[in-house]
Amino acid sequence: MVAKISIGSSLYGALAYNGEKMNKEQGRVLGANKIILPADGQIDIARMVENFNAFMPNTGKTKKPVLHISLNPHPDDRLSEQQYEILAREYLDKLGFGEQPYIIYKHMDIDRHHIHIVTVNVNELGKRLNQDFIYRRSKKITTELEEKYNLHKAQREKITPDMPILKVDPSGDIKRQVANTVKMVGMRYKFQTIGEYNAILSLYNIRCEQTDGRVNGREYHGLVYFATDDDGKIIATPFKASRLGKFASRTAIDSRFEKAKDKIDVASTKRKVADVLANATDKSGFVAKLEARNIDVVFRYTDEGRIYGVTFIDHGSMNVLNGSRLGKEFSANSINERFNSNDDTHSVATPVVVPAELTHGDTASDTQQQSPDNRRQPSDGQRQSPGFYSTTGYGDTNFTLPGLDLFQPGLAFNPDEEEFRRRMQRKKKGPRHRF
């Protein structure tokens, strides 16, 4: 059984996350302690917050008083709801939180049913409970519970250098898939901008947005990740970087940008793309021949179908490069003039208000190499994805959590591409006349 512990400041956010699962009939409450549960089962999040606050002082020095814990038994352990509740209560007792107010949820959004627990780590006097070595103690407790109840020993999935990267499977554990993909992409590929980072993520049906905001006078800068389908529509609740791991944080990704500057060999990718470009007669042939050389290309389009962005992903050298980095003849403008085609127009999406409280993380591990044979073969729709800028919204999906609209996505763009797009829009509107 694997336990995952998140420590944060937003009680409402943790309760709202679980409440949304219940609204989608993907979760239910199994039990609670010191929290009044309505007889009709209709959970009022604001009322739940009041219940928790009744056991917490109005003032306190603890900035992150909320614990959001998930307990994940092995998929082969088929437990009843009563057994899930017993596990959760015994786990909290052993961890030292048995007398705290808490609420236990069961999630059924994936085949592997699991438990979520929301509690607080301060008592009625405002004193923070013991969190020393909490992760180490948690691991010891889950091992004891596995032995006591004859459960399978579940371990976290380990990322290996030769593990293939696959696009998100909507029927699986989306959060785990997004986390694994983000970790592997960060370990293996070299990129220098958020646009290049999004280009490689798009091959696996993931995108991210920069988020900037201020809460309680404190400025935040972070990332939020989205799982999408092949058409770019969001298929799950967005994940703030802190929920995936430090490797997904803005601090870690910014660090990768800096490291890549000294590691990327533009010349090797440029030679391969130049050779293909010299012999290509149309865009589809250009894409196919690049794929044969182990290079994917991601185009970004205006609403009129004009290419305003192009990124080359070299799976051999692990380089992710905007066309302009290779040279003027490889830029979006040049590629569009060479293969001027409106057959692949796509709508593009706009940033959404992200309900996130963002935290910073440490730098992820150094870049590693991936065997070209392990890369996923994207579909034509994915390969010619509109990319990461938008004017019409993420399909039909708009996600917000009430009361958490604290952050606005930051700008995730290539300045040269954006200037080109604005210039084309001005041409379309015609010259302005001053009087």
Which tens digit of pLDDT belongs to each residue from 112-124? 789 999 999 888 8
CB-based contacts of 129, cutoff 8 Å, min separation 6:
96, 97, 100, 121, 122, 123
- Kindly state the tokens that stand for 372: 């070209």
Amino acid (1-letter code) at residue 303: D
Q: Is the pLDDT of residue 276 over 90?
A: yes
Q: What is the pLDDT of residue 399?
A: 39
- CA–CA separation, 185 and 247 (whole Å): 10
DSSP 125-194: TSPBPP-TTHHHHHHHHHHHHHHHTT-----PPPP-TTPPP----TTS-HHHHHHHHHHHHHHH-B-SSH
Q: Report, as an integer, the average pLDDT of 256-265.
A: 90
Of 71, 82, 66, nearest in space to 30 by CA:
82
β-sheet bridge partners, residue 301: 307
DSSP 3-state assignment of 206?
strand
Q: How far is CA 132 from CA 154, 229, 409, in A?
A: 24, 41, 35
Q: What is the pLDDT of residue 351?
A: 33
Q: Report, as an integer, the average pLDDT of 143-158.
A: 83
Q: Is the pLDDT of residue 404 over 60?
A: no
DSSP 3-state assignment of 28?
strand
- CA–CA separation, 401 and 301 (whole Å): 31
Place 6 in a pLDDT band, splitting at 50, 70 and 90: confident
DSSP code of 354? B
For 207, phi then psi, to 5°, come to -140, 160
Q: What is the pLDDT of residue 386?
A: 35
Q: Is the pLDDT of residue 234 over 90?
A: yes
More confident: 380 or 242: 242
Place 425 in a pLDDT band, splitting at 50, 70 and 90: low
- CA–CA separation, 353 and 355 (whole Å): 7
Q: What is the pTM of this model?
A: 0.56
Q: What is the pLDDT of residue 419?
A: 59
Q: What is the pLDDT of residue 428?
A: 57
Q: What is the pLDDT of residue 138?
A: 93
Q: Report, as an integer, the average pLDDT of 215-219.
A: 71
- Kindly state the tokens that stand for 169: 């499977």
Question: What value, to the nearest 5°, has the Cα angle with vertex 131 and ends 407 and 114?
Answer: 70
Q: How far is CA 147 from the centre of its chain?
A: 34
Of 304, 280, 276, 291, nearest in space to 382 by CA:
291
Q: What is the pLDDT of residue 157?
A: 64
- CA–CA separation, 76 and 84 (whole Å): 14
Place 212 in a pLDDT band, splitting at 50, 70 and 90: confident
DSSP code of 105? E
Alpha carbons within 13 angstroms on the beta-carbon side of residue 228 total 28
Q: Is the pLDDT of residue 406 over 90?
A: no
Of 384, 413, 405, nearest in space to 202 by CA:
384
- CA–CA separation, 80 and 64 (whole Å): 33
More confident: 304 or 208: 208
- CA–CA separation, 104 and 37 (whole Å): 11
Task: Please give the share of the chain, as a percent, with pLDDT higher than 70.
Answer: 75
**What is the number of other CB atoms lying within 10 angstroms of the CB of residue 142?**
22
CB-based contacts of 50, cutoff 8 Å, min separation 6:
none
To the nearest 10 degrees (0 to 180), the angle between helices 283-292 and 266-279 is 130
- CA–CA separation, 269 and 121 (whole Å): 52
Q: Report, as an integer, the average pLDDT of 235-247.
A: 90
Q: Where are the beta strands (DSSP E) in 272-348?
A: 295-301, 307-314, 319-322
Answer yes or no: are the C-beta atoms of 256 and 250 closer than 8 Å: no
Rounding to the nearest 10 degrees, give the CA dihedral for residues 413, 417, 423, 426.
Answer: -50
Q: What is the pLDDT of residue 62?
A: 77
- Kindly state the tokens that stand for 125: 């006097």
Place 409 in a pLDDT band, splitting at 50, 70 and 90: very low
- CA–CA separation, 270 and 325 (whole Å): 9
Q: Report, as an integer, the average pLDDT of 184-200.
A: 94
E strand or H helix at 266, and its extent?
Answer: helix 266-279
- CA–CA separation, 179 and 173 (whole Å): 10
Q: Is the pLDDT of residue 134 over 50?
A: yes
Output the average pLDDT for the chain.
79
Q: Is the pLDDT of residue 187 over 80?
A: yes
Q: Domain boundaries in the chain?
A: 2-148, 169-435
Looking at 66-75, 127-136, 192-201, 334-343, which range is the least confident one? 334-343
Answer yes or no: are the C-beta atoms of 156 and 12 closer than 8 Å: no
Overall fold of domain 2-148: BirA Bifunctional Protein; domain 2 (3.30.930)
More confident: 228 or 63: 228
Which tens digit of pLDDT belongs to each residue from 158-167? 777 678 899 9
Answer yes or no: are the C-beta atoms of 314 and 323 closer than 8 Å: no
